[in-house]
């Protein structure tokens, strides 16, 4: 599985990563109806070409280059990225349920502003 979007994206949904992606693998985009309803953005693992353009574009440092690089307390979001399929209500609901469980399990970290959350995970 390629790049993983993690919890600094939750409720941020800054689409700078979408704008630089050459293969349009990050969803939902602002122009997609699912954008308003989702908690965060997701990288489609089969569409991603591992170019890495999204990583420096993310203003909250929410994107990791691999499962191994993803912090342990964010590994549950690997599955959310892996199953989310834009336009498929079932997979979208499953991914969002994983994200909501992550939020509930990490209330202390989720209280930290997204721009500071990635650094807080390293502590």
Handedness of CA 51, 95, 121, 73 (dihedral sign): negative
Counting the structural domains of the chain, the total is 1
Q: How far apart are CA 113 and CA 7, in angstroms?
A: 11
Please spell the DSSP secondary structure of 83-122, one letter per residue.
H--TT-HHHHHHHHHHHHHHHHHTHHHHTS-HHHHHHHHT
Give the number of other Cβ atoms within 10 Å of residue 51's Cβ: 14
Give the CATH number, domain containing residue 17: 3.30.70.20
24 neighbors 15 (Cβ within 8 angstroms): no
pLDDT digits (tens, 9 = 90+) for 101-115: 999 999 998 898 888
Provide the residue range defining the domain that includes 17. 4-121
pLDDT digits (tens, 9 = 90+) for 20-70: 999 999 999 999 999 999 999 999 989 999 999 999 999 999 999 999 999
Q: How far apart are CA 56 and CA 7, in angstroms?
A: 16
């Amino acid at each position: 599985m390629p790049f993983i979007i993690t919890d600094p994206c939750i409720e941020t949904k800054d689409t700078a990563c979408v704008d630089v992606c050459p293969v349009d693998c990050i969803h939902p985009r602002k122009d997609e109806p699912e954008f308003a309803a989702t908690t965060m953005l997701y990288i489609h693992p089969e569409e991603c070409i591992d170019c890495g353009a999204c990583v420096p574009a993310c203003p909250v440092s929410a994107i990791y280059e691999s499962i191994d690089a993803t912090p342990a307390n964010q590994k549950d979001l690997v599955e959310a990225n892996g199953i989310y399929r834009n336009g498929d209500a079932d997979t979208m609901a499953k991914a969002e349920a994983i994200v909501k469980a992550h939020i509930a399990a990490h209330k202390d970290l989720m209280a930290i502003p997204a721009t500071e959350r990635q650094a807080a995970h390293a502590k």
